[in-house]
A and B are shown apart, each in its own frame.
Chain A
Amino acid sequence: MIIQKQKAFETILEALEKQEKVFLVGCSDCATTCKTGGEEDLAAMKTRLEASGKTVTGSMVCETACLRGEVRTRIGEHKAEIDGASALLVMACGTAVQTIGEQVEPPVHAGCDSLFIGEVIRQGKFAERCSACGLCVLDETGGICPVTRCSKGLMNGPCGGYSKDGKCEVDPEKDCAWILIYERLKKRGELGKMRKVREAKDQAPANKPRLYQWERPEQKKEPVAK
Protein backbone atom coordinates (compact mmCIF):
# COMPACT_ATOMS: atom_id res chain seq x y z
CA MET A 1 0.00 0.00 0.00
CA ILE A 2 1.17 3.54 -0.68
CA ILE A 3 1.08 5.03 2.78
CA GLN A 4 0.25 8.71 2.77
CA LYS A 5 -0.86 11.54 4.98
CA GLN A 6 -2.72 14.74 4.24
CA LYS A 7 -0.73 17.93 3.97
CA ALA A 8 -1.44 20.52 6.62
CA PHE A 9 -4.63 22.40 5.80
CA GLU A 10 -2.74 25.72 5.89
CA THR A 11 -0.38 24.40 3.23
CA ILE A 12 -3.31 23.36 1.06
CA LEU A 13 -4.94 26.77 1.45
CA GLU A 14 -1.69 28.47 0.53
CA ALA A 15 -1.50 26.40 -2.66
CA LEU A 16 -5.10 27.35 -3.47
CA GLU A 17 -4.57 31.03 -2.72
CA LYS A 18 -5.44 32.31 -6.16
CA GLN A 19 -8.03 29.65 -6.94
CA GLU A 20 -11.51 29.93 -5.55
CA LYS A 21 -13.34 27.07 -7.27
CA VAL A 22 -11.97 23.63 -6.42
CA PHE A 23 -12.81 20.11 -7.59
CA LEU A 24 -11.84 17.35 -5.18
CA VAL A 25 -10.47 13.93 -6.12
CA GLY A 26 -9.91 10.91 -3.94
CA CYS A 27 -9.20 7.23 -4.34
CA SER A 28 -10.89 4.14 -2.92
CA ASP A 29 -7.65 2.24 -2.59
CA CYS A 30 -4.64 3.40 -0.49
CA ALA A 31 -6.11 6.87 0.11
CA THR A 32 -9.20 5.39 1.70
CA THR A 33 -7.25 3.05 3.98
CA CYS A 34 -5.00 5.92 4.97
CA LYS A 35 -8.02 8.19 5.47
CA THR A 36 -6.59 10.86 3.21
CA GLY A 37 -8.91 10.66 0.22
CA GLY A 38 -11.88 8.42 0.85
CA GLU A 39 -15.52 9.52 0.64
CA GLU A 40 -15.62 10.76 4.26
CA ASP A 41 -12.27 12.49 3.93
CA LEU A 42 -13.37 14.41 0.84
CA ALA A 43 -16.58 15.41 2.59
CA ALA A 44 -14.58 16.73 5.53
CA MET A 45 -12.19 18.58 3.21
CA LYS A 46 -15.17 20.12 1.37
CA THR A 47 -16.54 21.46 4.65
CA ARG A 48 -13.19 22.99 5.64
CA LEU A 49 -12.59 24.54 2.23
CA GLU A 50 -16.06 26.06 2.15
CA ALA A 51 -15.54 27.46 5.63
CA SER A 52 -12.38 29.09 4.28
CA GLY A 53 -14.27 30.79 1.49
CA LYS A 54 -13.66 28.30 -1.33
CA THR A 55 -16.32 26.89 -3.61
CA VAL A 56 -16.20 23.14 -4.15
CA THR A 57 -17.59 22.52 -7.63
CA GLY A 58 -17.78 18.78 -7.07
CA SER A 59 -15.82 15.72 -6.06
CA MET A 60 -15.11 12.17 -7.12
CA VAL A 61 -13.52 9.12 -5.53
CA CYS A 62 -11.85 7.04 -8.22
CA GLU A 63 -11.74 3.34 -7.65
CA THR A 64 -8.03 3.44 -8.49
CA ALA A 65 -6.77 6.92 -9.30
CA CYS A 66 -3.57 5.75 -10.98
CA LEU A 67 -5.30 3.90 -13.81
CA ARG A 68 -5.18 6.23 -16.77
CA GLY A 69 -8.19 4.58 -18.40
CA GLU A 70 -10.42 4.78 -15.36
CA VAL A 71 -9.36 8.37 -14.69
CA ARG A 72 -10.25 9.31 -18.25
CA THR A 73 -13.72 7.85 -17.81
CA ARG A 74 -14.30 9.57 -14.47
CA ILE A 75 -13.12 12.92 -15.79
CA GLY A 76 -15.60 12.54 -18.60
CA GLU A 77 -18.38 11.84 -16.09
CA HIS A 78 -17.55 15.02 -14.16
CA LYS A 79 -16.64 17.26 -17.08
CA ALA A 80 -18.89 20.16 -16.20
CA GLU A 81 -17.74 20.31 -12.58
CA ILE A 82 -14.07 20.09 -13.57
CA ASP A 83 -14.40 22.70 -16.32
CA GLY A 84 -16.07 24.95 -13.80
CA ALA A 85 -13.17 24.67 -11.37
CA SER A 86 -10.05 26.84 -11.26
CA ALA A 87 -8.09 24.01 -9.64
CA LEU A 88 -8.24 20.38 -8.64
CA LEU A 89 -7.14 19.12 -5.24
CA VAL A 90 -6.13 15.47 -5.30
CA MET A 91 -6.29 13.80 -1.90
CA ALA A 92 -4.29 10.74 -2.87
CA CYS A 93 -0.74 9.70 -3.75
CA GLY A 94 1.65 11.48 -6.06
CA THR A 95 0.84 9.07 -8.88
CA ALA A 96 -2.83 10.01 -8.65
CA VAL A 97 -1.91 13.71 -8.77
CA GLN A 98 0.05 13.18 -11.96
CA THR A 99 -2.30 10.75 -13.67
CA ILE A 100 -5.12 13.25 -13.18
CA GLY A 101 -2.93 16.24 -13.96
CA GLU A 102 -2.09 14.87 -17.41
CA GLN A 103 -5.75 14.82 -18.35
CA VAL A 104 -7.28 18.06 -17.08
CA GLU A 105 -6.82 21.72 -17.91
CA PRO A 106 -6.95 23.40 -14.48
CA PRO A 107 -3.86 23.12 -12.26
CA VAL A 108 -3.81 20.07 -10.00
CA HIS A 109 -2.64 20.37 -6.39
CA ALA A 110 -1.25 17.60 -4.24
CA GLY A 111 -3.24 17.36 -1.03
CA CYS A 112 -1.10 14.62 0.44
CA ASP A 113 2.47 13.61 1.12
CA SER A 114 3.12 10.11 -0.16
CA LEU A 115 5.31 8.46 2.45
CA PHE A 116 6.25 4.92 1.54
CA ILE A 117 5.20 1.45 0.44
CA GLY A 118 4.26 -0.31 3.60
CA GLU A 119 2.29 -2.73 5.65
CA VAL A 120 -0.85 -1.66 7.44
CA ILE A 121 -0.14 -2.96 10.94
CA ARG A 122 -3.47 -1.71 12.18
CA GLN A 123 -5.63 1.28 11.47
CA GLY A 124 -3.42 4.34 11.69
CA LYS A 125 -0.12 2.47 12.09
CA PHE A 126 1.97 1.84 9.01
CA ALA A 127 5.51 0.55 8.57
CA GLU A 128 7.70 0.79 5.50
CA ARG A 129 8.51 -2.60 4.06
CA CYS A 130 9.50 -2.25 0.41
CA SER A 131 11.67 0.23 -1.46
CA ALA A 132 10.74 -0.97 -4.94
CA CYS A 133 14.43 -1.33 -5.57
CA GLY A 134 13.78 -3.44 -8.64
CA LEU A 135 15.94 -6.38 -7.59
CA CYS A 136 14.39 -8.22 -4.70
CA VAL A 137 16.79 -9.90 -2.28
CA LEU A 138 14.21 -11.07 0.24
CA ASP A 139 15.02 -14.70 -0.44
CA GLU A 140 18.60 -14.16 0.65
CA THR A 141 17.69 -12.53 3.93
CA GLY A 142 14.99 -14.75 5.35
CA GLY A 143 12.19 -12.58 3.98
CA ILE A 144 13.23 -9.39 5.77
CA CYS A 145 14.21 -6.52 3.51
CA PRO A 146 17.67 -5.10 4.26
CA VAL A 147 17.24 -2.32 1.68
CA THR A 148 14.18 -0.95 3.40
CA ARG A 149 14.36 -1.98 7.03
CA CYS A 150 18.07 -1.43 7.60
CA SER A 151 18.58 2.31 8.03
CA LYS A 152 21.74 2.07 5.97
CA GLY A 153 20.43 -0.45 3.45
CA LEU A 154 23.37 -2.73 4.11
CA MET A 155 23.93 -5.87 2.09
CA ASN A 156 26.40 -7.12 4.68
CA GLY A 157 24.92 -6.15 7.99
CA PRO A 158 24.70 -5.53 10.81
CA CYS A 159 26.79 -2.46 11.43
CA GLY A 160 28.21 -1.93 14.90
CA GLY A 161 25.28 0.15 15.98
CA TYR A 162 22.67 -2.31 17.23
CA SER A 163 21.70 -2.13 20.88
CA LYS A 164 21.47 -5.17 23.11
CA ASP A 165 17.70 -5.06 22.57
CA GLY A 166 18.33 -5.40 18.85
CA LYS A 167 17.34 -1.82 18.11
CA CYS A 168 18.85 0.42 15.45
CA GLU A 169 21.24 3.16 16.58
CA VAL A 170 19.54 5.62 14.24
CA ASP A 171 16.12 5.17 15.82
CA PRO A 172 15.74 3.18 19.03
CA GLU A 173 12.07 2.58 18.16
CA LYS A 174 13.19 0.57 15.17
CA ASP A 175 14.48 -2.96 15.10
CA CYS A 176 17.88 -3.62 13.60
CA ALA A 177 16.86 -5.39 10.42
CA TRP A 178 20.03 -7.43 10.38
CA ILE A 179 19.46 -8.73 13.89
CA LEU A 180 15.97 -9.76 12.75
CA ILE A 181 17.53 -11.41 9.72
CA TYR A 182 20.18 -13.10 11.88
CA GLU A 183 17.60 -14.46 14.31
CA ARG A 184 15.34 -15.76 11.61
CA LEU A 185 18.13 -17.38 9.55
CA LYS A 186 19.57 -18.93 12.72
CA LYS A 187 16.17 -20.35 13.63
CA ARG A 188 15.90 -21.90 10.20
CA GLY A 189 19.47 -23.23 10.24
CA GLU A 190 20.33 -20.93 7.32
CA LEU A 191 23.09 -18.79 8.77
CA GLY A 192 25.15 -19.66 5.71
CA LYS A 193 23.14 -17.03 3.89
CA MET A 194 24.43 -14.44 6.30
CA ARG A 195 28.03 -15.67 6.15
CA LYS A 196 28.15 -15.09 2.41
CA VAL A 197 29.98 -11.93 1.34
CA ARG A 198 27.25 -10.18 -0.57
CA GLU A 199 28.24 -7.90 -3.47
CA ALA A 200 27.33 -4.25 -3.48
CA LYS A 201 23.76 -3.95 -4.66
CA ASP A 202 23.22 -3.07 -8.29
CA GLN A 203 21.52 0.31 -7.95
CA ALA A 204 20.66 0.54 -11.65
CA PRO A 205 17.23 -1.12 -11.36
CA ALA A 206 16.32 1.56 -8.81
CA ASN A 207 17.28 4.54 -10.98
CA LYS A 208 14.40 6.86 -11.75
CA PRO A 209 12.26 7.46 -13.66
CA ARG A 210 11.32 3.88 -14.43
CA LEU A 211 9.09 2.61 -17.16
CA TYR A 212 8.01 -0.98 -17.17
CA GLN A 213 6.33 -2.47 -20.19
CA TRP A 214 5.33 -6.02 -20.95
CA GLU A 215 7.33 -7.32 -23.86
CA ARG A 216 6.26 -10.78 -24.68
CA PRO A 217 2.93 -11.09 -26.57
CA GLU A 218 1.81 -14.00 -24.41
CA GLN A 219 2.00 -11.72 -21.34
CA LYS A 220 -0.69 -9.50 -22.79
CA LYS A 221 -4.24 -10.65 -22.47
CA GLU A 222 -5.97 -11.07 -25.78
CA PRO A 223 -8.73 -8.48 -26.18
CA VAL A 224 -12.08 -10.08 -25.41
CA ALA A 225 -14.16 -10.35 -28.54
CA LYS A 226 -17.38 -8.33 -28.30
Chain B
Amino acid sequence: MSKLQEALQAGGFVVTGEIGPPKGVNLDHMWRDAEYLRGKVAAINVTDIQSSVMRIGSMSVSHMLLDRGLEPIFQMTCRDRNRLALQSDLLSAYSLGVRNVLALTGDHVKLGDHPQAKPVFDLDSVTLLRTMKQLESGKDMAGNDLDGAPSFFKGAVVTPCAEPLEPQIIKMEKKVEAGAQFFQTQAVYEPAAFESFMKRVENLRVPVLVGIVLLKSAGMAKFMNENVAGVRVPEDLIKRMAAASKEDRPKVSVEIAAQIIRAVKGICQGAHIMPLGWDKYVPGVIEAAGLA
Protein backbone atom coordinates (compact mmCIF):
# COMPACT_ATOMS: atom_id res chain seq x y z
CA MET B 1 0.00 0.00 0.00
CA SER B 2 1.38 3.43 -0.86
CA LYS B 3 2.03 5.98 1.87
CA LEU B 4 -0.72 8.16 0.43
CA GLN B 5 -3.21 5.32 0.49
CA GLU B 6 -2.23 4.55 4.09
CA ALA B 7 -2.71 8.18 5.07
CA LEU B 8 -6.17 8.30 3.49
CA GLN B 9 -7.19 5.01 5.05
CA ALA B 10 -6.05 6.23 8.47
CA GLY B 11 -8.90 8.73 8.18
CA GLY B 12 -7.21 12.02 9.03
CA PHE B 13 -7.38 15.08 6.76
CA VAL B 14 -4.68 14.47 4.16
CA VAL B 15 -2.78 17.26 2.45
CA THR B 16 -0.93 16.87 -0.84
CA GLY B 17 1.27 19.37 -2.62
CA GLU B 18 2.67 19.77 -6.08
CA ILE B 19 5.89 20.61 -7.90
CA GLY B 20 6.30 21.53 -11.53
CA PRO B 21 9.20 20.01 -13.47
CA PRO B 22 11.15 22.76 -15.23
CA LYS B 23 11.94 23.27 -18.88
CA GLY B 24 15.52 22.05 -18.77
CA VAL B 25 17.76 19.92 -16.63
CA ASN B 26 18.56 22.45 -13.93
CA LEU B 27 16.38 21.11 -11.15
CA ASP B 28 17.68 23.27 -8.28
CA HIS B 29 14.64 25.51 -8.07
CA MET B 30 12.28 22.55 -8.17
CA TRP B 31 14.11 20.77 -5.35
CA ARG B 32 14.00 23.97 -3.30
CA ASP B 33 10.22 24.02 -3.75
CA ALA B 34 9.98 20.35 -2.84
CA GLU B 35 11.88 20.90 0.39
CA TYR B 36 9.23 23.38 1.62
CA LEU B 37 6.78 20.51 1.40
CA ARG B 38 8.91 17.93 3.23
CA GLY B 39 7.16 16.77 6.37
CA LYS B 40 4.16 18.99 5.61
CA VAL B 41 2.29 16.96 3.01
CA ALA B 42 1.52 13.27 2.61
CA ALA B 43 2.50 13.25 -1.05
CA ILE B 44 3.64 15.54 -3.85
CA ASN B 45 2.10 15.64 -7.33
CA VAL B 46 4.52 15.83 -10.23
CA THR B 47 2.86 17.33 -13.29
CA ASP B 48 3.17 15.79 -16.78
CA ILE B 49 4.18 18.37 -19.39
CA GLN B 50 1.76 20.72 -17.69
CA SER B 51 -0.20 23.08 -19.93
CA SER B 52 1.41 21.30 -22.89
CA VAL B 53 4.62 23.21 -22.25
CA MET B 54 7.56 20.88 -22.84
CA ARG B 55 9.40 20.08 -19.62
CA ILE B 56 11.41 17.33 -18.02
CA GLY B 57 9.22 14.27 -17.45
CA SER B 58 7.12 13.44 -14.44
CA MET B 59 8.38 9.87 -14.24
CA SER B 60 12.00 10.81 -13.73
CA VAL B 61 11.10 13.52 -11.22
CA SER B 62 8.77 11.12 -9.36
CA HIS B 63 11.64 8.64 -9.15
CA MET B 64 14.02 11.32 -7.90
CA LEU B 65 11.47 12.32 -5.23
CA LEU B 66 11.53 8.75 -3.97
CA ASP B 67 15.34 8.90 -3.84
CA ARG B 68 14.95 11.95 -1.62
CA GLY B 69 12.54 10.18 0.72
CA LEU B 70 9.47 12.02 -0.54
CA GLU B 71 6.22 10.42 -1.74
CA PRO B 72 5.33 11.23 -5.37
CA ILE B 73 1.99 11.24 -7.16
CA PHE B 74 2.96 10.54 -10.76
CA GLN B 75 0.69 12.52 -13.05
CA MET B 76 0.13 10.85 -16.38
CA THR B 77 -1.73 12.45 -19.28
CA CYS B 78 -3.01 10.89 -22.47
CA ARG B 79 -1.96 13.76 -24.69
CA ASP B 80 1.46 12.57 -25.77
CA ARG B 81 1.58 8.79 -25.59
CA ASN B 82 -0.39 5.97 -27.21
CA ARG B 83 -1.60 2.88 -25.35
CA LEU B 84 1.67 1.06 -25.91
CA ALA B 85 3.74 3.82 -24.38
CA LEU B 86 1.28 4.43 -21.54
CA GLN B 87 1.24 0.79 -20.51
CA SER B 88 4.98 0.60 -20.83
CA ASP B 89 5.45 3.76 -18.78
CA LEU B 90 3.16 2.39 -16.08
CA LEU B 91 5.33 -0.72 -15.83
CA SER B 92 8.43 1.47 -15.83
CA ALA B 93 7.04 3.77 -13.15
CA TYR B 94 6.13 0.82 -10.97
CA SER B 95 9.60 -0.64 -11.38
CA LEU B 96 11.09 2.66 -10.26
CA GLY B 97 9.04 2.49 -7.08
CA VAL B 98 6.18 4.77 -8.08
CA ARG B 99 2.76 3.73 -6.77
CA ASN B 100 0.47 6.77 -6.80
CA VAL B 101 -0.68 7.63 -10.31
CA LEU B 102 -3.04 10.45 -11.24
CA ALA B 103 -4.73 9.66 -14.56
CA LEU B 104 -5.51 12.74 -16.62
CA THR B 105 -6.70 13.34 -20.15
CA GLY B 106 -4.34 16.29 -20.54
CA ASP B 107 -4.41 19.76 -22.02
CA HIS B 108 -4.48 19.99 -25.79
CA VAL B 109 -1.19 20.79 -27.53
CA LYS B 110 -2.69 24.01 -28.88
CA LEU B 111 -2.57 25.52 -25.38
CA GLY B 112 1.17 25.04 -25.04
CA ASP B 113 4.44 26.07 -26.58
CA HIS B 114 4.58 23.41 -29.30
CA PRO B 115 1.20 23.90 -30.97
CA GLN B 116 2.46 22.08 -34.09
CA ALA B 117 2.80 18.82 -32.18
CA LYS B 118 0.55 15.86 -32.91
CA PRO B 119 -1.91 15.27 -30.07
CA VAL B 120 -2.34 11.58 -29.29
CA PHE B 121 -5.30 10.94 -26.90
CA ASP B 122 -5.31 7.24 -27.79
CA LEU B 123 -6.70 6.75 -24.28
CA ASP B 124 -8.53 9.17 -22.06
CA SER B 125 -8.52 9.45 -18.27
CA VAL B 126 -11.27 6.84 -17.96
CA THR B 127 -9.65 4.25 -20.19
CA LEU B 128 -6.25 4.97 -18.62
CA LEU B 129 -7.69 4.09 -15.21
CA ARG B 130 -9.20 0.98 -16.67
CA THR B 131 -5.88 0.08 -18.24
CA MET B 132 -4.13 0.43 -14.89
CA LYS B 133 -6.69 -1.91 -13.36
CA GLN B 134 -6.10 -4.37 -16.14
CA LEU B 135 -2.32 -4.30 -15.70
CA GLU B 136 -2.85 -4.87 -12.00
CA SER B 137 -4.82 -7.99 -12.83
CA GLY B 138 -1.82 -9.35 -14.71
CA LYS B 139 -2.89 -8.63 -18.26
CA ASP B 140 -2.18 -5.89 -20.77
CA MET B 141 -4.86 -4.11 -22.80
CA ALA B 142 -4.68 -6.73 -25.52
CA GLY B 143 -5.30 -9.51 -23.01
CA ASN B 144 -1.75 -10.84 -22.98
CA ASP B 145 -0.39 -12.17 -19.68
CA LEU B 146 2.16 -10.04 -17.86
CA ASP B 147 5.26 -11.56 -16.29
CA GLY B 148 4.84 -9.69 -13.03
CA ALA B 149 1.91 -7.38 -12.39
CA PRO B 150 2.18 -3.85 -11.01
CA SER B 151 -0.05 -2.35 -8.38
CA PHE B 152 -1.03 1.30 -8.15
CA PHE B 153 -2.99 3.70 -6.02
CA LYS B 154 -5.08 5.24 -8.77
CA GLY B 155 -6.24 8.82 -8.73
CA ALA B 156 -8.26 11.10 -10.97
CA VAL B 157 -9.46 14.68 -11.20
CA VAL B 158 -12.87 16.33 -11.07
CA THR B 159 -14.01 19.95 -11.44
CA PRO B 160 -16.57 20.62 -8.68
CA CYS B 161 -17.55 24.09 -9.91
CA ALA B 162 -18.00 23.23 -13.58
CA GLU B 163 -21.09 24.46 -15.38
CA PRO B 164 -22.98 22.40 -16.29
CA LEU B 165 -22.01 20.13 -13.41
CA GLU B 166 -23.84 16.96 -14.35
CA PRO B 167 -21.35 15.92 -17.08
CA GLN B 168 -18.56 16.12 -14.47
CA ILE B 169 -20.55 13.96 -12.06
CA ILE B 170 -21.25 11.40 -14.78
CA LYS B 171 -17.57 11.33 -15.64
CA MET B 172 -16.56 11.01 -12.00
CA GLU B 173 -18.86 8.02 -11.66
CA LYS B 174 -17.25 6.49 -14.73
CA LYS B 175 -13.80 7.09 -13.32
CA VAL B 176 -14.75 5.32 -10.10
CA GLU B 177 -16.15 2.43 -12.12
CA ALA B 178 -12.94 2.35 -14.13
CA GLY B 179 -10.86 2.13 -10.95
CA ALA B 180 -10.24 5.57 -9.46
CA GLN B 181 -9.43 5.27 -5.76
CA PHE B 182 -8.97 8.95 -4.91
CA PHE B 183 -9.77 12.33 -6.42
CA GLN B 184 -8.05 15.69 -6.40
CA THR B 185 -10.27 18.52 -7.53
CA GLN B 186 -9.72 21.57 -9.68
CA ALA B 187 -9.38 24.77 -7.66
CA VAL B 188 -12.28 25.63 -5.37
CA TYR B 189 -12.95 29.12 -4.00
CA GLU B 190 -16.57 28.71 -2.97
CA PRO B 191 -17.16 26.37 -0.04
CA ALA B 192 -20.94 26.38 -0.61
CA ALA B 193 -20.60 25.24 -4.21
CA PHE B 194 -18.12 22.59 -3.11
CA GLU B 195 -20.53 21.38 -0.46
CA SER B 196 -23.36 20.87 -2.93
CA PHE B 197 -20.94 19.02 -5.20
CA MET B 198 -19.83 16.76 -2.35
CA LYS B 199 -23.45 15.95 -1.51
CA ARG B 200 -23.98 14.71 -5.04
CA VAL B 201 -20.97 12.40 -4.98
CA GLU B 202 -20.90 11.12 -1.39
CA ASN B 203 -22.50 7.88 -2.56
CA LEU B 204 -19.35 7.13 -4.54
CA ARG B 205 -17.46 6.64 -1.24
CA VAL B 206 -14.13 7.68 -2.61
CA PRO B 207 -11.71 10.09 -0.93
CA VAL B 208 -11.82 13.62 -2.34
CA LEU B 209 -9.05 16.15 -1.79
CA VAL B 210 -10.26 19.68 -2.44
CA GLY B 211 -8.08 21.63 -4.86
CA ILE B 212 -6.54 24.80 -3.45
CA VAL B 213 -4.73 27.22 -5.74
CA LEU B 214 -2.96 30.11 -4.03
CA LEU B 215 -4.06 33.41 -5.51
CA LYS B 216 -1.10 35.56 -6.37
CA SER B 217 -2.99 38.71 -7.31
CA ALA B 218 -6.40 40.09 -8.21
CA GLY B 219 -5.25 39.97 -11.79
CA MET B 220 -4.58 36.27 -11.55
CA ALA B 221 -8.04 35.72 -10.07
CA LYS B 222 -9.69 37.64 -12.91
CA PHE B 223 -7.56 35.78 -15.45
CA MET B 224 -8.69 32.44 -14.06
CA ASN B 225 -12.32 33.51 -14.11
CA GLU B 226 -12.00 34.40 -17.78
CA ASN B 227 -9.75 31.60 -18.93
CA VAL B 228 -9.72 28.57 -16.68
CA ALA B 229 -12.73 26.32 -17.12
CA GLY B 230 -14.62 25.44 -13.98
CA VAL B 231 -12.73 27.84 -11.72
CA ARG B 232 -14.70 30.67 -10.12
CA VAL B 233 -13.06 33.20 -7.88
CA PRO B 234 -15.86 35.19 -6.24
CA GLU B 235 -15.85 38.98 -6.22
CA ASP B 236 -15.17 39.30 -2.50
CA LEU B 237 -11.91 37.36 -2.78
CA ILE B 238 -10.82 39.43 -5.78
CA LYS B 239 -11.50 42.57 -3.73
CA ARG B 240 -9.41 41.27 -0.84
CA MET B 241 -6.47 40.55 -3.12
CA ALA B 242 -6.85 43.92 -4.83
CA ALA B 243 -6.91 45.72 -1.47
CA ALA B 244 -3.66 44.11 -0.35
CA SER B 245 -0.35 45.83 -1.01
CA LYS B 246 2.11 43.89 -3.13
CA GLU B 247 4.08 42.79 -0.04
CA ASP B 248 0.91 41.68 1.71
CA ARG B 249 -0.46 39.61 -1.13
CA PRO B 250 1.11 36.32 0.01
CA LYS B 251 -0.29 36.87 3.50
CA VAL B 252 -3.83 37.48 2.19
CA SER B 253 -3.46 34.57 -0.23
CA VAL B 254 -2.51 32.23 2.61
CA GLU B 255 -5.45 33.51 4.70
CA ILE B 256 -7.90 32.90 1.86
CA ALA B 257 -6.57 29.41 1.22
CA ALA B 258 -6.70 28.53 4.90
CA GLN B 259 -10.27 29.85 5.23
CA ILE B 260 -11.44 27.73 2.32
CA ILE B 261 -9.80 24.64 3.79
CA ARG B 262 -11.30 25.29 7.21
CA ALA B 263 -14.74 25.74 5.66
CA VAL B 264 -14.65 22.42 3.83
CA LYS B 265 -12.50 20.34 6.15
CA GLY B 266 -15.46 18.48 7.49
CA ILE B 267 -16.91 17.42 4.17
CA CYS B 268 -13.90 16.01 2.33
CA GLN B 269 -10.93 13.84 3.02
CA GLY B 270 -8.13 16.24 2.32
CA ALA B 271 -6.73 19.16 0.38
CA HIS B 272 -4.50 19.25 -2.69
CA ILE B 273 -2.52 22.49 -2.68
CA MET B 274 -1.25 23.75 -6.03
CA PRO B 275 1.22 26.51 -5.17
CA LEU B 276 2.25 27.32 -8.77
CA GLY B 277 5.71 28.25 -7.55
CA TRP B 278 4.65 29.63 -4.15
CA ASP B 279 5.65 26.41 -2.40
CA LYS B 280 7.28 28.36 0.43
CA TYR B 281 3.84 29.55 1.57
CA VAL B 282 2.36 26.07 1.75
CA PRO B 283 3.49 25.36 5.33
CA GLY B 284 1.80 28.64 6.30
CA VAL B 285 -1.46 27.56 4.69
CA ILE B 286 -1.38 24.24 6.47
CA GLU B 287 -0.76 25.90 9.80
CA ALA B 288 -3.37 28.62 9.30
CA ALA B 289 -5.91 25.98 8.32
CA GLY B 290 -5.37 24.29 11.66
CA LEU B 291 -3.90 21.19 10.09
CA ALA B 292 -0.33 21.33 11.41
**A153 contacts partner chain B, Cβ-Cβ < 8 Å:** yes
Question: CA A197 – CA B173 in complex, angstroms?
Answer: 9
Q: Is the CB of B168 within 8 A of A157?
A: no
| Interface size in chain B (residues, C-beta < 8 A) | 37
Q: Is the CB of A200 within 8 A of B108?
A: no
**A82 contacts partner chain B, Cβ-Cβ < 8 Å:** no
Interface residues of B (CB under 8 A from A): 79, 83, 105-108, 110-111, 119, 121-127, 130-131, 141, 157-159, 162-164, 166-168, 170-171, 173-174, 177-178, 186, 229-230
Question: CA A195 – CA B166 in complex, angstroms?
Answer: 11
Question: CA A159 – CA B127 in complex, angstroms?
Answer: 13
Q: Is the CB of B174 within 8 A of A158?
A: no
Q: A119-144 interface mask toward B, CB cutoff 8 Å, 1 = contact, 0 = none? A: 00000000000000000000000000
A158-B167, A182-B164, A182-B166 known; A199 and B110 CB under 8 Å?
A: no
The distance from the CB of A165 to the nearest CB of chain B, in whole angstroms, is 9
Q: Is the CB of B108 within 8 A of A160?
A: no
Contacts of B107 in A (CB 8 A): 161, 169
Contacts of A197 in B (CB 8 A): 126-127, 130, 174, 177-178
Interface majority SS on A: helix, strand, loop or mixed?
Answer: loop
The distance from the CB of B111 to the nearest CB of chain A, in whole angstroms, is 7
Question: CA A7 – CA B79 in complex, angstroms?
Answer: 31
**A64 contacts partner chain B, Cβ-Cβ < 8 Å:** no
Interface majority SS on B: helix, strand, loop or mixed?
Answer: mixed
Question: CA A171 – CA B229 in complex, angstroms?
Answer: 12
A157-B124, A160-B186 known; A152 and B108 CB under 8 Å?
A: yes
The distance from the CB of B51 to the nearest CB of chain A, in whole angstroms, is 11
Question: CA A159 – CA B174 in complex, angstroms?
Answer: 13
Q: Is the CB of B105 within 8 A of A159?
A: yes
Q: Is the CB of A156 within 8 A of B83?
A: no
Q: A167-200 interface mask toward B, CB cutoff 8 Å, 1 = contact, 0 = none? A: 0011100000011001000100001001101111
The 9 lowest CB-CB distance pairs between A and B, nearest first, are A156-B126, A164-B163, A200-B127, A170-B108, A160-B159, A152-B121, A159-B105, A154-B124, A161-B229
Contacts of A155 in B (CB 8 A): 124, 126-127
Which of A156, A166, A178 makes the CB contact (< 8 A) with B174? A156
Question: CA A102 – CA B123 in complex, angstroms?
Answer: 38
Question: CA A54 – CA B47 in complex, angstroms?
Answer: 57
The distance from the CB of B225 to the nearest CB of chain A, in whole angstroms, is 10
Contacts of A191 in B (CB 8 A): 170
The 22 listed contacts between A and B (C-beta, < 8 Å) are A152-B106, A152-B119, A152-B124, A154-B121, A155-B127, A156-B125, A156-B171, A160-B157, A162-B167, A164-B163, A171-B110, A182-B164, A182-B166, A182-B170, A186-B166, A194-B170, A195-B173, A197-B130, A197-B174, A199-B127, A199-B130, A200-B123
